[in-house]
Every structure is written in C-alpha cells, then in structure tokens.
Amino acid sequence: MKRTGDQAFIKDLNQSIVLNLLRFQGAISRADISRQTGLNKATVSSIIDELISEDYVHEIGHGQSQIGRRPMLLDFNPNVGRVIGLDLGTDYIRVLVLDLCANVLDTFEELLSQPTDADQTMTKMTTMLKTVVASIEPTRLGVLGIGVGVPGLVDAARGMVLNAPNLHWQNVQLKSLLETSYLMSSTLLSSKNHEGK
C-alpha cells in the first residue's frame, strides 16, 4: 500500500529541514537555503516568515554579495525555548537546563540517600524538576521537553526501566511514575496556593 503525506505533513517536514539547516549552519540567506535544500524560493520565504513570526529565527543583517543586492542573513534563535536533561545516577540526580542548541545553561545536582527506593527517587526527581523549572528565566516557548537518562536497560517507547542493576530496579514505569508524581505535586501546590489567597 502506498503512503503519501498530506499537505500539513509536507509543510512540517520542509519546516524541519529548514530549521535544522539554520540550527547547524547559521548565518545563511534565503537563497542559500533554497539552493542547499532544493526547496523553491517561495516555499523557503513562506517557511522563514513563519519561523520569524514564532521567534525561532532572526534576521541578523546583510551578507556580502558580488552582484546585486546584499542578501539578508538569518540565524536560529536557541533562546526561544528551553530543554531539560535529567541524569539519574546510582547515587545522585543531576538536572541540566539547555538552550535549543544543546548548550548547557545551568546544572543542579543532589545526592540520593536511598537510590533503590523508586518511589522516593521519583519524589526527589519531581521536587528537583519543579525547583529547576521555577528558576528558569521565562522564554517565549518555555520548557519544550524533558529527557531522562537512566543507568540500565530501558524500553524508551513505554518509558520503562527494564533492568537497572545498580539501582536494583526492574520493570519500573519511570515515565508514568514521574508524570503522576509531577501532576500530584502540581495539584497539591495549586491547592495550597489557592488556600493561602
């Protein structure tokens, strides 16, 4: 059976191609984007206009040209949002705050007294995440995602730690436990703030 992409899928794909080119190369003109991606100039112009309106891309000034008008150069804006990396070690939790070019902006670390206790570890991770998220300077898109690294065998699709020998964890539903813990603490925090008003 043939599979074809609808217009929205193609648009997202083209936007992703342009955004990645800008992210890894930077300081490039619309014409150069068109040449390097094979997309026509009208498509590139439409994508760039949208990315500029969403603050993903900035115009940074004119480049050099041997002939005709000097081209306007574009660059990716890594500060439009933030990403959080969470590293769970055998006796510590480390949280990194990164921009969208994976530059580390801040690091937080705490020791674990009982790393083998999954529930206690989830609570600790949640507390740290909330503290870190609250400390991040606001950006237009806020926190776009959180990635978690665990010292063991994982099933990424299900968000499950299958076996982490040093933590003595087996078949721990890390993703759902962390989400539940985060949501519960958010609800409790919201209730306390409401009561205090």
The CATH number for 71's domain is 1.10.10.10
Strands (E), 12-152: 28-29, 57-62, 72-76, 82-88, 92-98, 104-111, 143-149
Q: Rounded distance, CA 55 to CA 88, Å?
A: 33
Global pTM exceeds 0.85: no
Per-residue pLDDT at 112: 87
Looking from the CA of 40 toward its CB, the CA atoms found within 13 Å total 3
Report yes or no on 1 lying in a domain: no
Residue pLDDT, tens place only, 7-34: 888 999 999 999 999 999 888 999 999 9
Report yes or no on 42 lying in a domain: yes
The CATH number for 91's domain is 3.30.420.40
Q: Is the pLDDT of residue 184 over 80?
A: no
Report yes or no on 39 lying in a domain: yes
- If asked whether residues 70 and 22 sit together in one domain, one would say yes
Q: Rounded distance, CA 151 to CA 196, Å?
A: 41
Domain that holds residue 12: 7-76
- If asked whether residues 106 and 187 sit together in one domain, one would say yes
- Would you call 171 exposed, middle or buried from its count of C-beta atoms within 10 A (0-12, 13-18, 19+)? exposed
- If asked whether residues 104 and 43 sit together in one domain, one would say no
Q: Quick one: average pLDDT of 90-95?
A: 92
Residue pLDDT, tens place only, 31-64: 999 999 999 999 999 999 999 999 999 999 887 7
